[in-house]
Amino acid sequence: MSTGAPRRGFLRTWIFSVDHKVIGLQYLVASATMLLFGGLLAMAIRWQLAWPWTEMPIVGQLVFGDVGRVISPAAYTALFTMHGTAMVFFAVLPLLTGAFGNYLVPLLVGAPDMAFPRLNAASFWIFLGAMGLFLAGFFVEGGAAESGWTAYPPLATLPSAAPGSGAGQTLWLLAIVVLGVSSILNSLNAVVTVVKMRAPGMTWMRLPLTVWGLLVAAALQLAALPVLTAGGVLQLSDRWIGTAFYTPAGLLVNSVAPEVAGAGGSPLLWQHLFWFYSHPAVYVMVLPAMGFVSDILSVHSRKPVFGYKPMVWAMSSIAGLGLMVWGHHMFTSGLGFEMGRAFMLSTMLIALPSAVKTFNWIATIWGGRIRLTAAMCFALGFVALFVIGGLSGLWLAATPVDVYLHDTYLVVAHFHYIVFGGTVLAVFGALHHWLPKMTGRALSETLGRWHFLGTFVGLNCVFLPMHQLGIAGMIRRTADPSVYQLYEHLAPLNRFVTWSAFALAAWQLLFVVNVLWSLRSGTRVGRNPWEATTLEWEAPSPPGHGNFDRDLVIDCGPYEYGDAAGARDFRPQARSRS
Amino acid sequence: MATVPLPYDAAIDAPLDGHVATAWDSGPPVETGRFGTWVFLASEAFFFGGLLAAYFVLRGSSKAWVEPLSFGLGFTLTGLLVASSVCASISVRRLRAGARRSGSNWMLCASFLALAFLGVQAFEWRELAQEGFTPRGSLAGACFYILTGAHGLHVLAGVVWLAGSGVVLRSGAARTLHAELAALYQHFVDGIWLVLFTLLYLL
């Protein structure tokens, strides 16, 4: 290592490290594993929806061997609960704030590490603990949680409500509360690092948009996540102590009154507390991705980001508005007409900054010298699909439309366009862009572009027909649509979606192969393989402990590309050596 | 136009030797630890905000809300916690004047008063439970025990933090910043209590 740090053993280097880059990679491995796991759960869900109650080949024997190799109704409910939870809380959020947040923030602001390195390591180990609690749910009596990723009471609070409402639900809740602690520590670290540890000359308006995205997301977590934790504490109290925060008076569960003495609580209270975090969580899942995409589009089309300051203001206002729109998840839960109208209005306002960003991305690549790298392909894919997901969101925000479409597959289609079509594509793009920095070896561009093409086509084949299923009225979270006569004609479409999902999942092997091949025999790259301007490209690839091998002075903004920048068509942010 | 990604070029890409990276200091002119504590406490405020929002919703929609709390005990609790906070403040003043030993004494005093708060609260909980005011009995009870319980755990952390910095100050090893942050935390916990006292005992 250039910094002359003493060599350490495997354990000190890769396991018990406090280096932000190692912690970032640990998060990357952990959350990518959960992404894979959540994807497999989705395959089981799709199997059931295409061929209800039929024996699963091979997998059925292994997983459902004792129940006749088919998915039971309870197991199906657990499947979609755990799929949603795994993807949102243990895959996508930690991929962005944990993996990329940890790896990139210090590098992009010119710091040697996070502000509190030991706290950073603690946040990862707490995350692993939460992951353990979450996965343990599959192995307890009654099985995993069955109340959806939203854990609405009374299904989630009363142990007698369903098989999975027992120990599985308790473990789920504990996992979410513990995960919250980890995310709060992680976000605190990111905010303090950006505020306090920028290199000389790195002013606020010279920060790359990736940093802005991660910073705004971290601030959002700090404000919203403690509220979910508070709601989780109340729910744990309902389950453990027997309080009745969320249990209404006069409730019957399976025709029996539950044993709760002080009933009179409010199930809606949980929905408010849950969505006060979990709607902003959607923005936590998309703002960093927007940052990555802005950076990738600029670097690979050799042009400055169009409208840098509006981009910053758009991200901040999306976050600010994002704290005031949670009620749009509750239009049909008895929120009331006036409240519904207020939340409809605030939700629709978010379309404004989102549109500012989208037009700015298009203007960024307009007339650029586009290099159609794999990273660029994924970033372009993000922009295209974010538009679809964003517009269907605007549509669902209208209360009259939502009353018809709520809880149908249109909602499922909408958020998968944002999270898969948007965020996950951006993460693939970011991996193609930054993995060479992390490993010192490039991924295969050819394989990467093929992977993009198949993924783009595949995910549209999976999620576009879901709009149609939703408009036809097919409700989500139903284990067997064929029992309703009105869904009978949808069976072929459901099977098409399932086949597409299987193909999409199999296609992801290309990416796994690409990464493994790259680690072994990818082209070795230097400091700056993309001819980019931001600070991470000043450090060696991979950077040593302490990140930079010289002191940095920042002269200019992050997007100095084009002919005006000089002979090389780009001007690095850091003043050159000598 | 270059074909990217560019391959490794030893002339520009070889690591430079003998350099130790510098940690910079930007942003507001306060210590990183102090700034981090501010951010942490802001986040904590949202946690109590969530609990209090639940309290308002449930109390507002309830027809019978009975909190059989003793004003005298509540006043005693408030006095103990405010006194603890004042002691922590005096300690910080003494430390800034360079008097470590005296600062340490005041810090331990603050910790002791916070511990006394927990003792009185445990007594109060027992009395209330014997009168039949329990978390399972009514929503008012559930709210009371969860709010004061969550706050009590924060006081417990304060007891440990204040005592810890008091002891470490004696050994002469610690910078005074740690003690100042402990005091800051104690003021925060004190402030939360004043809100809870007003809502639970006075209104």
Distance CA A150, CA A537 (A): 41
Per the CB < 8 A criterion, the answer to whether A344 and A360 are in contact is no
Low-confidence winner among A69-73, A138-142, B21-25, B120-124 (lowest mean pLDDT): B21-25
Among B47, B62, B153, the strongest candidate for a mutation testing the A interface, having the largest count of A CBs within 10 A, is: B47
Per the CB < 8 A criterion, the answer to whether A357 and A314 are in contact is yes
* Mean pLDDT in residue range A527-543: 94
Query: Do you know the residue count of chain A?
Result: 578
| 3-class DSSP string for B59-79 | HHCCCCCCCCCCHHHHHHHHH
Distance CA A34, CA A31 (A): 5
* Mean pLDDT in residue range A162-167: 85
Integer angstrom CA distances of residue A204 from A196, A312, A548, A560, B33 = 11, 10, 21, 16, 21
Integer angstrom CA distances of residue A431 from A35, A297, A324 = 15, 14, 32
- Over 90: is that where the pLDDT of B2 sits? no
Q: Do B35 and A196 touch (CB under 8 A)?
A: yes
* Per-residue pLDDT band at A7 (split at 50, 70, 90): low
> Smallest Cβ distance to B26: which of A196, A223, A269?
A196
> Smallest Cβ distance to A243: which of B17, B23, B135?
B135
Domain range for A235 is: 21-248+263-565
CA A239 to chain centre: 29
* Mean pLDDT in residue range B41-55: 97
* Per-residue pLDDT band at A554 (split at 50, 70, 90): very high
Beta-carbon count within 10 A of B202 CB:
10
Query: Could you tell me which residue, B1 or B80, shows the higher pLDDT?
Result: B80
- Over 60: is that where the pLDDT of A1 sits? no
Chain A environment of B58 (Cβ under 8 Å) = 245, 265-266, 269
How many domains does chain A fold into? Answer: 1
Let me know if residue A381 belongs to a domain.
yes
- Asked if A299 reaches chain B (Cβ–Cβ under 8 Å), the answer is no
Q: Residue B122: CB partners within 8 Å, gap ≥ 6?
A: none
Phi/psi of residue A438, nearest 5 degrees: -75, -35
Per the CB < 8 A criterion, the answer to whether A22 and A12 are in contact is no
User: What is the reported pLDDT for A2?
Assistant: 40
**The tokens of A575 are what?**
């003043």
Q: Determine the Cα angle at A289 with ends A285 and A293, to 5°.
A: 165
> Smallest Cβ distance to B13: which of A188, A265, A527?
A527
User: What is the reported pLDDT for A521?
Assistant: 92
* Mean pLDDT in residue range B149-173: 93
* Per-residue pLDDT band at B133 (split at 50, 70, 90): very high
Q: What is the DSSP string of B166-186?
A: HHHHHHT-S-HHHHHHHHHHH
- Over 60: is that where the pLDDT of A578 sits? no
Q: Evaluate the CA torsion angle A550, A555, A558, A563 in order and state its sign.
A: negative
* Mean pLDDT in residue range B164-191: 90
User: What is the reported pLDDT for A3?
Assistant: 43
State the nearest Cα–Cα gap between A273 and chain B, in angstroms: 7
**The tokens of B24 are what?**
């910079």
State the nearest Cα–Cα gap between B65 and chain A, in angstroms: 11
Distance CA B75, CA A521 (A): 72
State the nearest Cα–Cα gap between A473 and chain B, in angstroms: 35
> Smallest Cβ distance to B7: which of A110, A524, A549?
A524
Q: Do B39 and A227 touch (CB under 8 A)?
A: no
Chain A environment of B9 (Cβ under 8 Å) = 526
Let me know if residue A398 belongs to a domain.
yes
**The tokens of A275 are what?**
């969505």
Q: What percent of chain A has pLDDT over 90?
A: 81
Integer angstrom CA distances of residue A140 from A67, A79, A155 = 16, 15, 18
Let me know if residue A9 belongs to a domain.
no
Nearest Cα residue to A192 out of B34, B93, B149, B177: B34
Closest residue on chain A to B2 (Cα): A531
**The tokens of B118 are what?**
């927990």
Site of tokens 């990416």: A511
Distance CA A81, CA A71 (A): 14
Per the CB < 8 A criterion, the answer to whether A189 and A123 are in contact is yes
pLDDT digits (tens, 9 = 90+) for A468-506: 999 999 999 999 988 999 999 999 999 999 999 999 999
Per the CB < 8 A criterion, the answer to whether A101 and A191 are in contact is no
Let me know if residue A572 belongs to a domain.
no
Per the CB < 8 A criterion, the answer to whether A97 and A187 are in contact is yes
Per the CB < 8 A criterion, the answer to whether A271 and A248 are in contact is no
Q: What percent of chain A has pLDDT over 70?
A: 97
Q: Residue B124: CB partners within 8 Å, gap ≥ 6?
A: B70, B73, B77
Chain B environment of A369 (Cβ under 8 Å) = 1
User: What is the reported pLDDT for A262?
Assistant: 66
Let me know if residue A104 belongs to a domain.
yes
**The tokens of A360 are what?**
């700015």
Let me know if residue A254 belongs to a domain.
no
**The tokens of A68 are what?**
């006749």
Beta-carbon count within 10 A of A473 CB:
16
Selected residues 362-391 of chain A with any CB under 8 Å from a CB in chain B = 369, 371, 373
Closest residue on chain B to A192 (Cα): B36
Selected residues 47-106 of chain B with any CB under 8 Å from a CB in chain A = 47-51, 53-54, 57-58, 61-62
* Mean pLDDT in residue range B21-26: 80
Q: Residue A190: CB partners within 8 Å, gap ≥ 6?
A: A97, A101, A105, A114, A214, A215, A218
Let me know if residue A133 belongs to a domain.
yes
CATH for A434: 1.20.210.10
Nearest Cα residue to A413 out of A329, A497, A502, A504: A497
Beta-carbon count within 10 A of A187 CB:
26
Q: Do B53 and A530 touch (CB under 8 A)?
A: no
Selected residues 136-175 of chain B with any CB under 8 Å from a CB in chain A = 136-139, 141-142, 145-146, 150
Could you report the predicted ipTM of this complex, rounded to two decimals? 0.94
Distance CA A17, CA A27 (A): 12
**The tokens of B125 are what?**
């909980």
The domains located in chain B, with CATH, are: 29-61+70-202 (1.20.120.80)
Let me know if residue A276 belongs to a domain.
yes
Distance CA A53, CA A240 (A): 36
- Over 60: is that where the pLDDT of B163 sits? yes
State the nearest Cα–Cα gap between A352 and chain B, in angstroms: 28
Q: Is A556 exposed, middle or buried (0-12, 13-18, 19+ CB in 10 A)?
A: middle
Closest residue on chain B to A201 (Cα): B26
**The tokens of A426 are what?**
């951006």
Among B13, B125, B145, B192, the strongest candidate for a mutation testing the A interface, having the largest count of A CBs within 10 A, is: B13
Residue type, B154: H
Gyration radius (Cα) of chain B, Å: 24
Chain A environment of B138 (Cβ under 8 Å) = 261-262
